[in-house]
A and B are shown apart, each in its own frame.
Chain A
């Protein structure tokens, strides 16, 4: 299924900036960065639970937030892109 992950991490102090880069790194590991703090990840249920847990461990719940949108298996109809930096679809043939 396609999970859309977005986050807000407070970067007022250096501690926050460190959290931001850790969260970003974790998201890059699991999916595609489609906008600055927006990621699309193809995950199964178990992978999603683990990723969610790991991200929750990283953030500071008083100042930061995470949002997960589950777009299911038939996500192709649900996503449209306009403008620069088009993305790839992980379900299509990957030929470079």
Chain B
């Protein structure tokens, strides 16, 4: 199994990243702040104004270190991609599936089933662990309806129907998401999903977590030789990594939502770490962003049992293992794509 390496996050403004031998060197006004050997890194992620030398870009691309640029607020800007990896036969088969609605739907319905299964588990776990603190009756109704939708999903072969079922399940799940926030309720609440821009603190955290997860997913897909931009459920649109978004569906809940909930419930973040811009967008300050990134990295190191591979792996490798399983399915080594079913 691949080893999970570290990710370097650069949040300082006015930094420049260069290459020295096999080291990535972080400079601020000619002063060297840090140097790390590239072979210890899996990804480099910059927020703000960090410039990067072409030599470092090339070194990252050839050593399979993903290099991503984001705005200060965590919106995705650009990514460095090197020569295409993997084999073209695999990618062509991926395109063929993507062009075929029925075959696309067969893969996509497994992903959506995974999503509903995982979200159902999140809710059921909450009712089990905090039975006295939350409205279990209300949540129970939602988990039952998620179970019903999962049954309906089994035979679906049209993408539109799939999207409809997925949408209604998402509405159900979102309607009780606020109940899972157990601490700091006066400042953290969830009335509904808002994005571009996120209008409250929970949405700001969710958007940030989804961006981080999407980047991990894109790099994972590329490292197994798939094209992250050609999806099955999400159709092609220039500049959108549709396959990464497809693959994220089953992980949004267990990976990102639960991460955000634990940040709030464990009081890693607090009310003061956010501010509101003129356009009503809620943004976290630099201090909070660092705390979130630190917690994200620590979460990635935590080990879980992968239910399909039956192997203990760190959370951070889940996007990679799912990408690997999808590649095996496309190649024809597996009869179905096995989504990540969290236990």
Contacts and interface: CB of A to CB of B under 8 A. Distances in A.
A44 B36 CA distance: 16
A94 B6 contact: yes
B311 interface: no
Contacts of B294: 93, 95
A24 to B, nearest CB: 11
B184 interface: no
B298 interface: yes
Contacts of B212: none
A49 interface: no
B3 A44 contact: yes
Given A28-B23, A29-B21, A90-B6, A95 B40 contact: no
A35 to B, nearest CB: 16
Given A30-B37, A31-B37, A96-B15, A91 B8 contact: no
Contacts of B297: 93-95
A94 B23 contact: no
Interface residues of B, number: 27
B15 to A, nearest CB: 7
Among B8, B33, B40: residue with most chain A CB under 10 A: B40
B33 A96 contact: yes
B336 to A, nearest CB: 34
A95 B34 CA distance: 11
Interface in B19-76: 20-23, 26, 33-37, 39-40
B14 to A, nearest CB: 12
A94 B39 contact: no
Contact of B21 (A25, A43, A90, A95): A25
Interface string A32-58: 100000000111100100000000000
A94 B37 contact: no
Given A94-B6, A95-B290, A41 B37 contact: yes
B209 to A, nearest CB: 15
A96 B34 contact: yes
B22 A94 contact: no
Interface string A4-32: 00000000000000000000010011111
A29 B15 CA distance: 21
A88 interface: yes
Given A94-B6, A95-B11, A95-B294, A88 B34 contact: yes
Interface in A69-94: 88, 90-91, 93-94
B22 A30 contact: yes
B337 interface: no
Contacts of A42: 37, 40
B216 to A, nearest CB: 15
B37 A96 contact: no
B9 interface: yes
Nearest to A41: B37
B196 to A, nearest CB: 26
Nearest to A26: B21
Contact of B23 (A29, A43, A95, A96): A29
Contacts of A90: 6, 36, 40
B293 A95 contact: yes
B9 A95 contact: yes
Contacts of B296: 93
B12 interface: yes
A30 B20 CA distance: 11
B10 A29 contact: no
A84 to B, nearest CB: 17
A96 B6 contact: no
Nearest to A91: B6
10 contacts: A25-B21, A29-B22, A31-B37, A32-B37, A88-B34, A90-B6, A93-B298, A94-B297, A95-B290, A96-B9
Interface of A: 25, 28-32, 41-44, 47, 88, 90-91, 93-96
